[in-house]
Chains A and B, each alone.
Chain A
Amino acid sequence: MSQPTADKANRVLLRLQNVGKTFQMGEVAVEALSDVSLDVYAGEFLVMVGPSGSGKTTILNLVGGLDSVTAGRVWFEDREITAFTPAELTRYRRETVGFIFQFYNLVPNLTACENVMVSTELSRDPMDVVEALRLVDMEDRMDHFPSQLSGGEQQRVAIARALAKKPTLLLCDEPTGSLDFATGKRVLRTLLDLKQQLGKTVVLITHNSAIAQMADRVVRLRSGQVVELHDNPQPLPPEEVVW
């Protein structure tokens, strides 16, 4: 286990403490995470890298309240997520977390605008839908259905959807994973802008180490364990990242 080394003045937003996750698949147990401890600071851009199957998605799901741990605890600020009731978990997801998925997961028979509305209708103080779409530069495509949009455009709609309910924490699961180089960069730029302009905390996972260059901090995972954790004093803007 490696200790967090960052500046102690930073406020801890998320804390994972000896988290383990084992999937039971019939007879066999798959240990996706074992004994992971990690702090995420408010307002940082944290990138987790690791090969496919190393447990990145699992961590993100646990942190976002989509799945339950089999060992250890997770805190968000001073509240223990792992002790939440289902109703509290739902509220947590609704009010605190914004998710961005590798395959965008837009609702196929809703337009871009409606996909964002699905999220804003849940929120007490949401962003304006058009405003959210403008942030990702998609306001002129808002009446298109997902099938009429390219992958990058769909992903930007998905980002708008995550943003629109003004979450504190953005969790991005390989947001560029199914995008081409140039489109991927645009999406990354959007995410970085959000962090810088709106002060969001962004946790982004990727199997692409190059992307780590734009992070404030990098966590490296292998076989369900944190193998490396380091600060990146000079993050590169996405435009300069190459892969």
Chain B
Amino acid sequence: MKTLDRKLLREVRGHLGMLLAVTSIIAVGVTCLVTMVSAYMNLAEAKQLYYAQCRMADFSIELKKVPLAELAPLAAMPEVAELRSRIQHSVTVDLPGVIEPISGQIYSLPDQRRPVIDDIVIRQGSYFTDRRDNEVIVNEKFAKAHRLRPGLWIRMLLNNRQQELFIVGTAISSEFVYLIGPGAIVPDDKRFGVFYMKRTYAEETFDFEGSANQVLGRLSAAAGGDSREVLRRAEDMLSSYGVFTTTPLEDQPSNKFLTQEIQGLKSFAVIIPCMFLAVAALVMNVLLGRLAQQQRIVVGTLKALGYSDLQIFRHFLKFGLIVGIAGGLIGCGLGWWLAKLLTALYGIFYQFPELHNRLHWSVLAVGMLVSAGCAALGSLRGSRAVLRLHPAEAMRPSPPRRGGAILIERIGWLWRSLGSGWRMVLRNVSRSRMRTAACIFAAAMGACVLVNGFMMQLSLGFLIDFQFQRIMRSDIDLTFNDERGRDALAEAARLPGVNRAEPTLNVACTFINGWRRKKGSITGLLSDATMTIPRDIEGRRLRIPAHGIMMSRQLAKSLGIERGDLVGVEPIKGQRRLCSVPVVEISDSYLGTAVYADIQYLSRLVDEEFAISGVQLAVDRNPVHRAALYRELKRLPAVQAVSSRADMIRNLEDILKTQSIFIAMLVLFAGIVFFGSILNASLVSLAERQREVATLRVLGYGPWQIGSLLFRESMITTILGTLLGMPLGYLMTLAIAAEYASDLFRLPVVTSPGLWILTMVLAIVFGLITHLFVQRTINKMDWLDALKMQE
């Protein structure tokens, strides 16, 4: 071993505290990087594999009913590589022992197994057999949630008839990586299921012989990856068969959620580690700066002996690299472990045939490289000042630090009112610029991450409250499979335990403004509806206009429409008469893109006198009444879907709980960053001023008084940094909300005084904890030695 390396090792031993500080920050940065990038790669790869395995459709067309022969021209398009038709239908399932009705969706599959678009992966049991017609394959999570397994029978209400179906297998499909029921944004394994049945059986049951109501397709190379043109032409071709929706892959709900998650993860995987690593490089810079300053004379002497700048830099670099590699190794290990946790967590919401935390060597290599690089950068910047000196210059004692009055001294009355302690503290803070800057930056990044984490949590809570307490107020929503008249409402009102029933009418339509078209739907409500209350951004109740529609801001924005404009509305059902309708009001919401209108106005728009497609119920809390109601509902063939607000809230709150794990992790990371930077700054400050400290001790200062000086210094920078970081965190959350905003959901950006207070309190607590370490060092310090030492 080279002699200089021996010196290095002894120095490492002598600076363990400071090294620990920097190492921990680097480790946090690398941990974040490895965790997020690994999770990202796990998800992205799993998605790609799964989509290929199931031959995921590039587009789908939902229509009323199309004879199979009529699909030939579409299949013949050069842009279309492959086409498949299927039958889908919503269904209500009655499971023994489950009081509430369960809704689901049925899809047909070929009677005999052959590879198809949007194929399934069998998880348990088998594909259909030749033994029965009425076989069913159930989606795995639903089966697990209800302990269904192959060999059991399941009872469903199919096309108004109760039917018994034999479960042959359980399966998953790339179509439903993120499986949500209609209107939901969170999966609910228990209350929504997917059921696959034989094509012939489905044709028979739903009267679809030789026809289908959904077309799935894959694009050929000729389409250039864009399905919009194909879909536009397909819509024309099939217009006489009642096209409800055309869905390119990017709008497919499961894919949309998954892709958004992966995208979000990717941006997080860059931003957060960068923030932490920047802090690490800065702190490293401070530490190496101190080390190099302290070793000015050694550096000068080595140069005089004939060591080149490069050799001496390499020496300091090794010091940095030890930290970088240690931090990198810890970060890689911890990151790999956390990636495993995170990936498993994703596995709860996103279902893949295989979602494992693979060991991504490239990620680990990048992690090591980045940490070494950032340590090297910090070392370079830190030691540069000393390395650049002529050896003769280096060997002279370093020039006295910048003197002169600091800013606060100019405010005479303030300065005069300060004791000598505060004066020392303030001078130190404003004179060691680099260290102060590093500390403020670290605190700012820490606070930024904290604020961001807390805001995300608040945001989801706010969303739940806004959507499910303030806008949506019904206890249970029923959806009918057909439009009904007034009598359906009266019937619903008579159901047991129902206190109040309000009608809704949902009309699927295309909104048109110039060249902009958007598929969506209008919900008709009573003018004095109490169970759906549209609101503006302030949460104020908006009145439903008697004439015209009320459009959600998100939709209005994407159509380029403002309040008072006219919008073209083309209903998908019925006469499809295009009419021009005024947008009287803009409403705000965080889920979906609702458009409201007066139910009578909307009925007239679709040439009806008074139509309803669903009912919203306020019901008794009494569980006995509730059970009776559910029993009744299961028997009603006309009821297609039942959704209960309480269930949706519960599902969302589950997500909140999962999210808290992340928040806790972020708090921990932010804590480490605070800890590392404060510890480093305090120890460096202490080392720089050993003589001053010794002199103070001689004057009769106790260790706690010395500690209080350092504590005040670190508190000033911590509080300043936190104050700076808080708005930064707010802006970051704003940016994230903008990034995540989609038609499906938007994150509200909300704050509360408690959030700011909590962030500040945490920052101070982190500072206090760190100071305990610093205080220990002060207590153990051999100050007499420092007095004798010549620097």
Q: Does B544 contact A (CB under 8 A)?
A: no
Taking the closest CB of chain B, its distance from the CB of A59, in whole angstroms, is 11
Q: Does A216 contact B (CB under 8 A)?
A: no
Q: Does A156 contact B (CB under 8 A)?
A: no
**A93 to B305, Cβ gap below 8 A?**
yes
**B298 to A67, Cβ gap below 8 A?**
no
> Given the known A-B contacts A61-B392, A66-B392, are A93 and B10 also in contact in the complex, defined by CB atoms under 8 Å?
no
Q: Does B132 contact A (CB under 8 A)?
A: no
Q: Does A64 contact B (CB under 8 A)?
A: yes
Q: Which of B10, B297, B306, B393 contacts A67 (CB 8 A)?
A: B393
**A118 to B305, Cβ gap below 8 A?**
yes
**B3 to A91, Cβ gap below 8 A?**
no
> Given the known A-B contacts A105-B297, A105-B300, A109-B10, are A117 and B306 also in contact in the complex, defined by CB atoms under 8 Å?
no
Q: Does B390 contact A (CB under 8 A)?
A: yes
Task: Report A-chain residues with C-beta under 8 Å of the C-beta of B301.
Answer: 99, 101, 105, 107
**A94 to B7, Cβ gap below 8 A?**
no
Taking the closest CB of chain A, its distance from the CB of B553, in whole angstroms, is 62
**A118 to B4, Cβ gap below 8 A?**
yes
Interface string of B281-307 (1 = CB under 8 A from A): 000000000000000011011111111
**A161 to B305, Cβ gap below 8 A?**
yes
Q: Does A114 contact B (CB under 8 A)?
A: yes
**B392 to A121, Cβ gap below 8 A?**
no
Q: Does B239 contact A (CB under 8 A)?
A: no
Interface string of A9-44 (1 = CB under 8 A from B): 000000000000000000000000000000000000
* Interface residues contributed by chain B, number (CB under 8 Å): 26
Q: In the complex, what distance in Å separates the CA atom of A58 from the CA atom of B392?
A: 8
**B391 to A94, Cβ gap below 8 A?**
no
**B307 to A122, Cβ gap below 8 A?**
yes
Q: In the complex, what distance in Å separates the CA atom of A94 from the CA atom of B311?
A: 12
**A110 to B304, Cβ gap below 8 A?**
no
Interface residues of B in 2-41 (CB under 8 A from A): 2-4, 6-7, 10-11, 14
**A87 to B390, Cβ gap below 8 A?**
no
**A90 to B307, Cβ gap below 8 A?**
yes
Q: Does A190 contact B (CB under 8 A)?
A: no
Task: Report B-chain residues with C-beta under 8 Å of the C-beta of A91.
Answer: 306
Q: Does A165 contact B (CB under 8 A)?
A: yes
**A67 to B307, Cβ gap below 8 A?**
no
Q: In the complex, what distance in Å separates the CA atom of A144 from the CA atom of B3?
A: 15
Task: Report A-chain residues with C-beta under 8 Å of the C-beta of B11.
Answer: 109
**A114 to B304, Cβ gap below 8 A?**
no
**B3 to A67, Cβ gap below 8 A?**
no
Interface residues of B in 368-405 (CB under 8 A from A): 390-393, 395
Question: Closest residue to B14 on the A side, CB-wise?
Answer: A109
Q: Does B309 contact A (CB under 8 A)?
A: yes
Q: In the complex, what distance in Å separates the CA atom of A22 from the CA atom of B75?
A: 89
Q: Does B129 contact A (CB under 8 A)?
A: no
> Given the known A-B contacts A114-B3, A114-B6, are A99 and B305 also in contact in the complex, defined by CB atoms under 8 Å?
yes
Residue of B301, B393, B790 contacting most chain A CB atoms (<10 Å): B301
Q: Does A231 contact B (CB under 8 A)?
A: no
**B390 to A66, Cβ gap below 8 A?**
yes
Q: Does B267 contact A (CB under 8 A)?
A: no
Interface string of A88-132 (1 = CB under 8 A from B): 001111110101010101011110001001110110000000000
Q: In the complex, what distance in Å separates the CA atom of A101 from the CA atom of B304?
A: 10
Q: In the complex, what distance in Å separates the CA atom of A107 from the CA atom of B304?
A: 13
Taking the closest CB of chain A, its distance from the CB of B3, in whole angstroms, is 4
Taking the closest CB of chain A, its distance from the CB of B312, in whole angstroms, is 10
Taking the closest CB of chain B, its distance from the CB of A71, in whole angstroms, is 16
> Given the known A-B contacts A94-B306, A110-B3, are A66 and B391 also in contact in the complex, defined by CB atoms under 8 Å?
yes
Task: Report A-chain residues with C-beta under 8 Å of the C-beta of B306.
Answer: 90-95, 97, 119, 122, 165
Q: In the complex, what distance in Å separates the CA atom of A119 from the CA atom of B395?
A: 17
Question: Closest residue to B13 on the A side, CB-wise?
Answer: A109
Question: Closest residue to B790 on the A side, CB-wise?
Answer: A103
Q: Does A86 contact B (CB under 8 A)?
A: yes
Task: Report A-chain residues with C-beta under 8 Å of the C-beta of B6.
Answer: 110, 114
Task: Report B-chain residues with C-beta under 8 Å of the C-beta of A117.
Answer: 3
Question: Closest residue to B391 on the A side, CB-wise?
Answer: A66
Q: In the complex, what distance in Å separates the CA atom of A86 from the CA atom of B301?
A: 16
Task: Report B-chain residues with C-beta under 8 Å of the C-beta of A68.
Answer: 390
Interface residues of B in 315-330 (CB under 8 A from A): none
> Given the known A-B contacts A90-B306, A99-B305, are A105 and B298 also in contact in the complex, defined by CB atoms under 8 Å?
yes
Taking the closest CB of chain B, its distance from the CB of A113, in whole angstroms, is 9
**A107 to B305, Cβ gap below 8 A?**
no
Q: Does B308 contact A (CB under 8 A)?
A: yes
Task: Report B-chain residues with C-beta under 8 Å of the C-beta of A66.
Answer: 300, 303-304, 390-392, 395
Taking the closest CB of chain A, its distance from the CB of B395, in whole angstroms, is 7
Q: In the complex, what distance in Å separates the CA atom of A95 from the CA atom of B392?
A: 18
**A119 to B392, Cβ gap below 8 A?**
no
Q: In the complex, what distance in Å separates the CA atom of A21 from the CA atom of B32?
A: 54
Task: Report A-chain residues with C-beta under 8 Å of the C-beta of B391.
Answer: 61, 66-67, 93
Q: In the complex, what distance in Å separates the CA atom of A92 from the CA atom of B305?
A: 10
Taking the closest CB of chain A, its distance from the CB of B691, in whole angstroms, is 16
Q: In the complex, what distance in Å separates the CA atom of A103 from the CA atom of B298?
A: 11
Task: Report A-chain residues with C-beta under 8 Å of the C-beta of B303.
Answer: 66, 90, 93
Task: Report A-chain residues with C-beta under 8 Å of the C-beta of B395.
Answer: 66, 101, 105
Interface string of A72-90 (1 = CB under 8 A from B): 0000000000000011001
**B390 to A122, Cβ gap below 8 A?**
no
Question: Closest residue to A23 on the B side, CB-wise?
Answer: B393
**A121 to B3, Cβ gap below 8 A?**
yes
Q: In the complex, what distance in Å separates the CA atom of A114 from the CA atom of B1?
A: 11
Residue of B3, B300, B306 contacting most chain A CB atoms (<10 Å): B306
Question: Closest residue to A115 on the B side, CB-wise?
Answer: B3
Taking the closest CB of chain B, its distance from the CB of A159, in whole angstroms, is 13
18 contacts between A and B (CB under 8 A): A58-B392, A61-B392, A66-B300, A66-B303, A66-B392, A68-B390, A93-B303, A93-B306, A101-B301, A105-B297, A110-B7, A114-B3, A114-B6, A114-B7, A118-B7, A118-B305, A119-B306, A122-B306
Given contacts A90-B308, A93-B391, A118-B302, 7 further A-B contacts (CB under 8 A): A66-B395, A67-B390, A90-B307, A94-B307, A103-B297, A121-B3, A165-B305
